[in-house]
Structure formats: structure tokens, C-alpha cells
């Protein structure tokens, strides 16, 4: 500002944007870059995505598929998604009316909140939770109601879940496999959620982005539970399954009466996801079971390396059943608070993580935990393991 300009009397920030902070996950990537650390913070792979999809994207661009796709998704991708849900989960989905392709599961979740949740509504969220759900709720004017998943095994307490439901509850967010704990909800847990949603006339919004990255248990699709199809929005995407987080391709599957407001919100936020990448996405969605088995096996090897590294360095954790994160307790290594510890680890040890505080409504709840993302090459994880092994001598 020059000396002749008067300061504005208006606040720089709209009230709603003032009520949440920037993403700590994305911030930790910047911290990692600043200190030249190995980035086990933000969950994105450092290995290539499948070549046939890369080729298909190049072919689509050269084939002049470079203008807007249909707002709610190119017909080929929606058809491929519908076919995948039919063959994998026995779920019939109408690609014409029930699928909205979005810019990542992230945009799908935000659009669903804005389309289906009113100001003042309560939305149940298991805690710890992927940090986006907080701002999503705030942007919709909703009140998040947290139900704890408690260490060491991150199981839900049925009584606490029952107690969270009321006439004010509009929705519950169900993320399985779960970020950041790695829990895969059991059939019993999913059944209880289904029972309570029906008892209280609540909609379920699922986040199933890690559906194919599992080491134990089965992936239970809540929408396939009796009575749940008509009250469930199933969100997933291509980012994790096809290692293409930068492509920003996700989707929401919901009955037509939910999909039409979701499509409207999505349209006015983004118009649509990138057209040539949608064309290539359809190629990936048609991969056969081998691809998915291979993906899960490779992740199991990465998980095992990460677990050994944490054992050796003195962290305490529950081995993840799915997804590619470990929320590890560092209280035997350091008594720093989670944010200070994560910065120290990035700077002095050279391994970036996401401080536990970013997954809790109150930072003190995540005081002594930090999240490791192990969606990395074996070499990257082995290098991180070497650095972590030295960390105890640095405290």
C-alpha cells in the first residue's frame, strides 16, 4: 500500500473464510520442500501412474478432446463408473441421472455438502478426520458433531455413535478405509451406521477413495446395505486407485433427487472436470481385477517397510488395515506438541509428516501423534527409515 492509499474499513476476509485455517496437509508439503525433507506428509504417490492411462490422455488431447465435457461428466467415464459398480459391488447405477464427475473427491464432498446440507444442520464426523470435512461443514453452515475413534485400535464406540444422532442430524460422513487412522470399518460397524441413518432419517455421505488399498477386512459399500441406496451419496475417485492425484477426478453417486442439486452446485463451482483426463479415466476404470490386486500387494509391501521403520524409531501405532497412512504416537520419543514435533522432524530428521492436530477439532486431542503417508517408492521409504532410525539420537 502506498502512503496515499487509505486502509480499507472493510475486513479483508469474508466471515466464512475467517472461520477455518489453511490446510495443514498442503502446508506440510511446503515445509518439506523448505527443509529438503522426504515428504511423507501429503498423501500423493512419488511413482508413476499406469502407462495406458497416460497414453490415453495424450491421445485424447491430440484427438482434440479439449473443450468442456458435459458438466456432470463425459458419457464414457460415467458409463465406465456405472459398469465398475455393477461388476464390483453389484450396485445398479444409472449413469444418466445418478453420477456427477467432479474435480476430485474433494470437490465432490464440498458440492455434496453445499447441495444437501442446510445451515444449522448437524453432520456427524468420526474423529480424527480428514481435515477437509471441517471446512466443508463450515462452508455449508453446518455444525459438525464428532464421534471419537479412540487409540490404540481406533474402533468406534457404538454407544457414542448412537448418542450423536438426533432430530437435528442431517448427515453422517463415513470414510472407510479411513484417513488418517487406516481403519477399515467392519460389517458390524457399517450395519450400525445403516441402522441409525434409517432410524433418524439421516443421509450418509461416504468417502471411499481408498477402497482398493486394503491389507485386512473387506470394503463395505454402505449404499448396498438394505434401505441405504436411497439415502446414501457414495463418493470416490481415481486419484488414489490410479496414482493420479493431480488429475483431479472424483465422483459422487447418488439417487437422482440428490444428484440434481449436486450437479447444479458442481456446475457453478467448476463447470466440469478436465475433458481429456476424463477420457483417459474411463480407460482406467475398465482395468480388470489383476490391476487392483497388484495395487494392494504393492501397498502391503510399502506398509510393511513403514511399520518396521516406525518400530525401530520407537513410535507406537496400530498397523493400518487400509489406506496409506499411519497415525503414530511419538510420546516415547518427544514431549513436543504435534505441530512443533512435525516441524522438528522435517527440519532435523528430514522426514515430513502431518501433525496430529490437523485431524482433530481441538488440537490438544492430537497432541502426541503425527501422520506418516507411505504412498511412496520402496527406495523413498527405505531412505526415510534410515533417517528415522537416527531420530532418537537427535532428541
200 HSE (CA, 13 A, CB side): 23
Contact status: 43 vs ligand GLN (CB under 6 A):
yes
Identify the bridge partners of residue 359 per DSSP, sorted by sequence position. Answer: none
The conformation of residue 316, written as its DSSP 8-state character, comes to B
Closest CB 302 distance from ligand GLN, rounded Å: 15
Radius of gyration of the chain (CA): 21
User: Hey, which residues between 81 and 120 contact ligand GLN (CB under 6 A)?
Assistant: 106
Would you say 42 or 278 has its CB closer to ligand GLN?
Answer: 42
Cβ closest to ligand GLN, residue 42 vs residue 176? 42
The residue number whose beta carbon is nearest to ligand GLN equals 43
Q: Which of 39, 175, 179, 368 binds ligand GLN (CB under 6 A)?
A: 179
User: Parallel, antiparallel, or unpaired for β 232-237 and 325-329?
Assistant: unpaired
The site map against ligand GLN for 364-393 (x = CB under 6 A) is ---------x--------------------
Q: Looking at the DSSP assignment, which residues form a beta bridge with residue 252?
A: 100, 235
Cβ nearer to ligand GLN, comparing 255 with 356: 356
Q: How many residues does the chain have?
A: 395
Neighbouring residues of 393: CB distance < 8 A, sequence distance ≥ 6 = none
Kindly report the backbone phi and psi dihedral angles of residue 319, in degrees, each rounded to the nearest multiple of 5, phi listed first.
-60, 130
Among 25, 60, 173, 204, interactor with ligand GLN by CB under 6 A = 25
Binding mask 329-358 for ligand GLN (x = CB under 6 A): ------------------------------
Residue among 16, 17, 21, 26 that touches ligand GLN (CB under 6 A): 26
Query: Taken in order 193, 325, 237, 268, is the CA torsion positive or negative?
Result: positive
Nearer to ligand GLN, 60 or 149 (CB): 149
Distance separating alpha carbons of residues 317 and 131, to the nearest angstrom: 20
Residue 140: phi and psi, rounded to 5, are: -85, -5
Q: How far apart are CA 297 and CA 299, in angstroms?
A: 5
Count interface residues toward ligand GLN (CB under 6 A). 8
Strand-pairing partners, residue 123, are: 144, 171
- Which residues within the stretch 257-296 sit at the binding site for ligand GLN (CB under 6 A)? none
Q: Are strands 250-253 and 325-329 parallel, antiparallel or unpaired?
A: unpaired
Report the residue number, 95 or 180, with the smaller CB distance to ligand GLN: 180
Nearer to ligand GLN, 42 or 391 (CB): 42
CB of 43 to ligand GLN, least distance (A): 3
**Binding positions for ligand GLN, rule: CB under 6 A:** 25-26, 42-43, 106, 130, 179, 373
Amino acid at each position: 500500500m502506498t502512503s496515499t492509499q487509505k486502509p480499507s474499513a472493510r475486513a479483508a476476509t469474508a466471515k466464512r473464510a475467517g472461520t477455518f485455517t489453511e490446510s495443514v496437509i498442503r502446508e506440510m508439503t511446503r515445509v518439506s520442500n523448505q527443509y529438503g525433507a522426504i515428504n511423507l506428509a501429503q498423501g500423493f504417490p512419488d511413482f508413476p501412474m499406469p502407462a495406458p492411462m497416460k497414453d490415453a490422455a495424450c491421445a485424447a488431447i491430440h484427438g482434440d478432446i479439449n473443450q468442456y465435457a458435459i458438466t456432470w461428466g463425459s458419457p464414457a467415464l460415467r458409463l465406465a463408473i456405472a459398469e465398475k459398480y455393477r461388476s464390483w459391488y453389484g450396485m445398479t447405477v444409472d449413469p444418466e441421472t445418478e453420477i456427477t464427475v467432479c474435480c476430485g473427491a474433494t470437490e465432490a464432498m464440498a458440492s455434496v455438502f453445499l447441495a444437501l446440507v442446510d445451515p444449522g444442520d448437524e453432520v456427524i464426523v468420526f474423529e480424527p478426520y480428514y481435515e477437509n470435512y471441517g471446512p466443508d461443514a463450515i462452508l455449508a453452515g453446518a455444525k459438525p458433531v464428532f464421534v471419537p475413534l479412540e487409540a490404540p485400535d481406533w474402533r468406534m464406540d457404538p454407544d457414542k455413535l448412537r448418542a450423536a444422532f438426533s432430530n437435528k442430524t442431517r448427515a453422517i460422513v463415513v470414510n472407510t478405509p479411513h484417513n488418517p487412522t487406516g481403519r477399515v470399518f467392519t460389517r458390524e460397524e457399517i450395519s450400525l451406521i445403516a441402522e441409525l441413518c434409517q432410524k433418524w432419517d439421516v443421509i450418509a455421505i461416504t468417502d471411499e477413495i481408498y477402497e482398493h488399498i486394503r491389507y485386512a477386512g473387506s470394503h463395505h459399500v454402505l449404499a448396498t446395505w438394505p434401505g441405504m441406496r436411497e439415502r446414501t451419496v457414495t463418493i470416490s475417485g481415481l486419484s488414489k486407485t490410479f496414482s493420479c492425484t493431480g488429475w483431479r477426478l472424483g465422483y459422487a453417486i447418488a439417487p437422482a433427487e440428490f444428484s440434481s442439486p449436486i450437479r447444479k452446485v458442481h456446475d457453478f463451482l467448476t463447470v466440469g472436470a478436465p475433458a481429456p483426463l476424463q477420457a483417459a479415466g474411463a480407460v482406467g476404470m475398465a482395468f480388470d481385477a489383476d490391476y487392483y490386486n497388484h495395487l494392494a500387494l504393492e501397498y502391503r509391501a510399502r506398509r510393511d517397510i513403514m511399520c518396521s521403520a516406525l518400530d525401530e524409531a520407537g513410535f507406537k501405532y496400530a498397523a493400518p488395515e487400509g489406506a496409506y497412512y499411519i497415525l503414530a504416537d511419538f510420546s516415547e520419543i518427544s514431549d513436543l506438541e504435534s505441530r512443533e514435533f512435525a516441524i522438528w522432524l522435517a527440519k532435523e530428521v528430514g522426514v515430513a509428516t502431518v501433525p496430529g492436530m490437523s485431524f482433530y477439532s481441538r488440537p490438544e486431542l492430537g497432541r502426541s501423534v503425527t501422520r506418516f503417508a507411505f504412498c511412496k517408492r520402496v527406495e523413498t521409504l527405505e531412505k526415510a527409515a534410515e533417517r528415522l532410525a537416527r531420530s532418537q539420537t537427535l532428541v
